[in-house]
Amino acid sequence: MAHQIKIPSVGESITSATLGTWHKNDGEYVRVGEVIVTIETDKISTELESDRDGILRHAAPSGSELAIGAVVATIEEGSAPAGSVEPAQAAPNAAQAVPATGVVDDEVRATPVARRIAEGEGIDLAKVAGSGAGGKITKADVMGAVAPATGETPVSALIVPTTAPSQAATQATTQATTQATTTAPTSTPSGGRTTRRKMSPLRRKIATHLVNAQKEAALLTTFNECDMSAILGLRKQVQDDFVAKHGVKLGFMSFFIKAVVDALQTVPALNASLEGDEIVENHFYDIGVAVGTEKGLIVPVVRGCESKSFAQIEKDIIDYAGKARSGGISLSDLQGGVFTITNGGIYGSLLSTPILNPPQSGILGMHSIQERPMAVNGEVVIRPMMYLALTYDHRIVDGKEAVTFLVRVKNCLEHPERMLLGV
Higher pLDDT, 153 or 9: 9
Q: Is-contact 338 271, C-beta < 8 A?
A: yes
Rounded Cα gap, residues 362 and 262, in angstroms: 14
Higher pLDDT, 217 or 169: 217
Higher pLDDT, 34 or 169: 34
**Sign (positive/negative) of CA torsion 18, 21, 24, 26?**
positive
pLDDT at 366: 96
Residues of the chain with CATH 4.10.320.10: 92-147
The pLDDT > 70 percentage for the chain reads: 73
Rounded Cα gap, residues 360 and 210, in angstroms: 13
Residues of the chain with CATH 2.40.50.100: 1-82
Q: Is-contact 95 115, C-beta < 8 A?
A: yes
319-330: pLDDT as tens digits: 988 887 776 777
Q: pTM, whole model, 2 decimals?
A: 0.64
* Whether the predicted pLDDT of 225 surpasses 90: yes
255-286: pLDDT as tens digits: 999 999 999 999 999 999 999 889 999 999 99
Q: Which residues pair with 197 in a beta bridge?
A: 185
Q: Is-contact 47 172, C-beta < 8 A?
A: yes
**274 Cα distance to chain centroid:** 26
pLDDT at 241: 96
Q: Is the peptide bond before 359 cis (omega within 30 degrees of 0)?
A: yes
Rounded Cα gap, residues 402 and 244, in angstroms: 39
Dihedral of the CA atoms 272, 278, 283, 286 (nearest 10)?
-50
Strand 71-77 versus strand 278-281 pairing type: unpaired
pLDDT at 58: 93
Mean pLDDT within 1-6 = 83
**Separation in Å, CA 32 to CA 57, 75, 135, 168:** 15, 11, 14, 17
**212 Cα distance to chain centroid:** 23
Instruction: List, as own/partner pairs, every contact residues 139-142 make where C-beta atoms lie below 8 angstroms and the sequence separation is at least 24, other chains included.
Output: 139/111, 139/113, 139/114, 139/169, 139/326, 139/328, 141/114, 142/110, 142/114, 142/117, 142/118, 142/326
CATH number of 1-82: 2.40.50.100
Higher pLDDT, 411 or 100: 411
Give the residue from 227, 220, 212, 236 showing the smallest Cα distance to 387.
227
Rounded Cα gap, residues 309 and 314, in angstroms: 9
Left if phi > 0, otherwise alpha if psi is -120 to 50, otherwise beta: which for 161?
beta
Give the Cβ contact number of residue 197 at 10 Å.
Answer: 13
Angle at which helices 310-326 and 229-246 pack, to 10 degrees?
80
The model's confidence at residue 292, banded by pLDDT at 50, 70 and 90, is: confident
Strand 301-302 versus strand 369-376 pairing type: unpaired
pLDDT at 381: 97
Mean pLDDT of the chain: 79
pLDDT at 157: 39
* Whether the predicted pLDDT of 209 surpasses 70: yes
Residues of the chain with CATH 3.30.559.10: 206-421
Mean pLDDT within 341-348 = 91
DSSP state of 127: G
Which one of 80-89, 103-112, 117-126, 391-400 scores highest in mean pLDDT? 391-400
* Whether the predicted pLDDT of 334 surpasses 70: yes
CATH number of 206-421: 3.30.559.10
pLDDT at 369: 96
- Using DSSP, state whether 17 is helix, strand or coil: strand
Strand 65-67 versus strand 16-22 pairing type: antiparallel
* Whether the predicted pLDDT of 166 surpasses 90: no
Left if phi > 0, otherwise alpha if psi is -120 to 50, otherwise beta: which for 70?
beta
* Whether the predicted pLDDT of 357 surpasses 60: yes
Point out the residues that are catalytic. Answer: 394, 398
**Separation in Å, CA 11 to CA 16, 181, 319:** 10, 21, 23
CATH number of 92-147: 4.10.320.10
Instruction: List, as own/partner pairs, every contact residues 331-336 make where C-beta atoms lie below 8 angstroms and the sequence separation is at least 24, other chains included.
Output: 331/10, 331/11, 331/43, 331/44, 331/176, 333/174, 333/300, 333/301, 334/43, 334/44, 334/174, 334/176, 334/177, 334/288, 334/298, 334/299, 334/300, 334/301, 335/301, 336/286, 336/301, 336/303
pLDDT at 360: 94
9-20: pLDDT as tens digits: 766 557 778 887
pLDDT at 201: 63
